[in-house]
Amino acid sequence: MIRRLKIAGVFVAILLMGETAHASGPTDVSPFNWSGTYLGISVAHSWFDLKYYEPDWPGFDRNPDINGVTGGAFLGHNYQIDNIVLGVEGDVGLGDLSEDADKSAANTYSAYDIDWNAHIRARIGCVFDTTLLYVAGGLAFAEDTVDDTDPNWGKDDATHAGWTVGAGIEHGMTKNLRARLEYLYDDYGSKDYTITGLYSYRANVDLTAHTVRAGLSYCF
């Protein structure tokens, strides 16, 4: 419920920004142009839903909710046609997103660490002078490490590849400086892991995430 309220709050913020952005745009009298290459930084809060199970050992499933703050960078290019903006963008994020072993659960040994995530997205949006409302979608990637914390056992890591969709609002603060707020849903798919110790056993992780992200970029 808390997660849903936070996500709903983001959509309300996006709508409010869309209503007020016209009053705070660049003072340049020439039409604002969204075309060009841009580079930016971002800060985000992500809620990861990790589903873990062992195909050969039923009963040792875990489903932790892993959440935290990430920071990252993004690079993209826009092309404006009348009041429509088409673009492509890539980004990468890093953060401390992890879950320790739960000694009170049936599975007392598995710990997880989401090392990084990234996206390659196409964007399409509608321009209202210095404000851009857009939707985006494409590929999503994340690397997760599964660690058996019991003595004499090891760990394995894998890169998940899936898809992402999202929506946001971007506002031109000056001719080159732009701020944004967006929401992303990522489905990173499932991946198999092999944990080696006294013997080897298989594990599987299915990974999805909700993310609220703010960014600041400079268009060249």
For residue 118, name the pLDDT band (cuts at 50, 70, 90): very high
Closest by CA to 76, choosing from 53, 92, 96, 97, is 92
Q: pTM of the predicted model, to two decimals?
A: 0.84
pLDDT of 128 strictly over 90: yes
Per the document, the length of the chain is: 220
pLDDT band, residue 30 (cuts 50/70/90): low
Which runs of E-coded beta strand occur in the chain?
36-53, 65-81, 84-99, 110-128, 131-148, 155-172, 177-196, 200-219
Confidence of residue 96 (pLDDT cuts 50, 70, 90): confident
What is the CATH classification number for the domain harbouring 192? 2.40.160.20
Distance CA 42, CA 99 (A): 23
Tell me the residue range of the domain where 46 lies. Answer: 2-219
User: Which alpha helices (DSSP H) does the chain contain, by range?
Assistant: 2-20
Residue 207 carries which side chain, given as an amino acid letter? L
Q: How many structural domains does the chain have?
A: 1
DSSP state of 31: P
Residue 116 has pLDDT above 80, yes or no: yes
pLDDT at 31: 75
Burial annotation 167-205 (CB, 10 A radius, 16+ → b, else e): bbbbbbeeeeebbbbbbbbbbbbebebebeeeeebebeb
165-201 pLDDT per residue, tens: 999 999 999 999 999 999 999 999 999 999 999 899 9
Residue 24, pLDDT > 80, answer: no
